[in-house]
A and B are shown apart, each in its own frame.
Chain A
Amino acid sequence: MNNVATISFQWLDSLKGRNTIKSAFNQPFSSEDRLLVDFAGVKFISRAAAHELLSQVDKLAKKGVESSFINLNEELDKMFDLVENSIGKEKQASFRFVKWLEFENESKYQKYLLQF
């Protein structure tokens, strides 16, 4: 019979950082293990944390450890779908536009800043 390991985030209602996930997965898993990731109580996951979690699960899958997510709310489910679907896709150029401004003198720069 397989050993079942569980990762839960019982102290947290949101998972913001990559390190939160890294530290949760920082434990030995043997190839016989099955992993349950329990999201009970978690209402929000950031994109970075979702990406890290999927990467960790993927790494474990390559070692033969199967993972299941339980108690996943709709918001979390949506974020996982979004991350899975975005990997490898070209990003939208309009997101990444930067206009470089130059000013003739300090007074013009001051005027520019004061419009905000």
Chain B
Amino acid sequence: MSNHKIYVPNTNWDLIKIGPQLLHLQKSIKAWSPDIEKINFKGLKFSPPLLAVYYASLIQESTIKINFEGLSGYLETLKFPYGLLPDDTNNWKNTLNAFSSKTYLPIIKFSNKTTKEETILREMLLSHALKIIGSITQIPSNYYSAINYLLSELTDNIVEHSRHDFGYFSFQYYRENGLMDICIADKGIGLLGSYQKYEGERDFSQISNHLLAVDSAIKGNSTKPIPEKRGYGIATSRRMLIEGLGGHFVYLTGNALLINEEMSNFGEYFQGTIALIRIPVKSFSKDFNWYKFVE
């Protein structure tokens, strides 16, 4: 008889909506305990980017080995849980190209290292992923550039602030609903950690919890060694997404959850950051000008 403690994710909700995804995440974090040795994914036939990235990072970055079983064909195609980890060959391009006819991409694990080689590889990888997304969703060039902007801001934050080796990227197109999700996450120090570890001339000592950290980042208080008060680009990204693209912006770090302009105490703690951008891609406005939202 096995004494292994097994966690089985509950999937009774409609996981296309953002709220049920967040509740699933909250419940999963709450139920997690260090003595869980295995996750059985038999009930998770589909996983939206938010949850795919969460479980992938949980399995990969836990200090103890977590086994898993019951992966559906969908999760296996997502390369769940290890993701696509590109090397310096071009095989990753062929792998991504094979997803052009699907409605999703595999989970991508990108390096946050700042050597020239790793930087170029990350740029090429994310650009190529975006090209495939453009081809899947058939978005026009003004929307493509806006998404490029959002992707740049969010991944750059991870590279510059997470103090962690890797970030995660996941994409899903809900064709029937005319929506797409992109999720970008890391298991690094989070926004609060970024303020706490700051060693420059500015005084961030008053930023003592995750909610204050998010608020402060949006207000433009940056730990970047640059003179302008611009913050993490979260505010600009958020406005472009909500007002320009009619989408939703979800940002979770620690126990701080920001949904569009509203912040709440998530009640559970996520180590690192998760950003989910949801974009309606059913109809497009040719008048949408993404530059209007760049500060």
Asked if B38 is at the interface of the complex by the 8 Å CB criterion, the answer is no
* A1-20 interface bits toward B, Cβ cutoff 8 Å, 1 = contact, 0 = none: 00000000001111111111
Most chain B beta carbons < 10 A, residue from A51, A82, A110, A114: A114
Asked if B76 is at the interface of the complex by the 8 Å CB criterion, the answer is no
Known: A17-B119, A17-B159, A100-B211. A46 touches B20 (CB 8 A): no
B124 touches A113 (CB 8 A): no
Asked if A55 is at the interface of the complex by the 8 Å CB criterion, the answer is yes
Instruction: Determine the chain B residues whose CB is within 8 A of the CB of A47 once the complex forms.
Output: 149, 152-153, 233, 236, 294-295
Known: A82-B294, A99-B262, A116-B19. A14 touches B148 (CB 8 A): yes
Give, as a whole number of angstroms, the nearest-CB distance from B251 to chain A.
11
Asked if A28 is at the interface of the complex by the 8 Å CB criterion, the answer is no
Asked if B207 is at the interface of the complex by the 8 Å CB criterion, the answer is no
Task: Report the Cα distance A103→B259, complex, angstroms.
Answer: 15
Asked if B165 is at the interface of the complex by the 8 Å CB criterion, the answer is no
Task: Report the Cα distance A48→B265, complex, angstroms.
Answer: 30
Interface size on A, residues (CB 8 A): 48
Asked if B239 is at the interface of the complex by the 8 Å CB criterion, the answer is yes
Partner of A16, one of B151, B218, B263: B151
Instruction: Determine the chain A residues whose CB is within 8 A of the CB of B149 once the complex forms.
Output: 46-47
Asked if A62 is at the interface of the complex by the 8 Å CB criterion, the answer is no
Instruction: Determine the chain A residues whose CB is within 8 A of the CB of B151 once the complex forms.
Output: 16
Contacting A at CB under 8 A, from B9-64, are: 17-20, 22-23
Asked if B116 is at the interface of the complex by the 8 Å CB criterion, the answer is yes
Instruction: Determine the chain B residues whose CB is within 8 A of the CB of A13 once the complex forms.
Output: 127
Task: Report the Cα distance A19→B167, complex, angstroms.
Answer: 15
Partner of B263, one of A82, A98, A116: A98
B159 touches A19 (CB 8 A): yes
Asked if A106 is at the interface of the complex by the 8 Å CB criterion, the answer is yes
Partner of A23, one of B115, B156, B215: B115
Partner of A12, one of B114, B123, B160, B291: B123
Residue of B whose beta carbon sits closest to that of A111: B19
Task: Report the Cα distance A116→B259, complex, angstroms.
Answer: 9
Contacting A at CB under 8 A, from B65-88, are: none
Asked if B1 is at the interface of the complex by the 8 Å CB criterion, the answer is no
Give, as a whole number of angstroms, the nearest-CB distance from B195 to chain A.
16
Task: Report the Cα distance A110→B294, complex, angstroms.
Answer: 34
Give, as a whole number of angstroms, the nearest-CB distance from B228 to chain A.
6
Task: Report the Cα distance A97→B215, complex, angstroms.
Answer: 8
28 contacts between A and B (CB under 8 A): A11-B124, A12-B124, A13-B127, A14-B130, A14-B148, A16-B152, A17-B119, A17-B123, A22-B114, A23-B114, A23-B115, A44-B145, A44-B148, A46-B148, A48-B152, A48-B233, A75-B145, A79-B291, A87-B228, A88-B228, A91-B220, A91-B230, A94-B239, A95-B235, A98-B214, A98-B215, A98-B262, A101-B264
Where the two chains meet, the residues of A that have a C-beta atom closer than 8 Å to any C-beta of B are 11-20, 22-24, 26, 44, 46-49, 51, 55, 75, 78-79, 82, 86-88, 91-92, 94-103, 106, 109-110, 112-116
Where the two chains meet, the residues of B that have a C-beta atom closer than 8 Å to any C-beta of A are 17-20, 22-23, 114-116, 119-120, 122-124, 126-127, 130, 145, 148-149, 151-153, 155-156, 159-160, 211, 214-215, 218-220, 226, 228-231, 233, 235-236, 238-239, 248, 250, 258-259, 261-265, 267, 291, 294-295
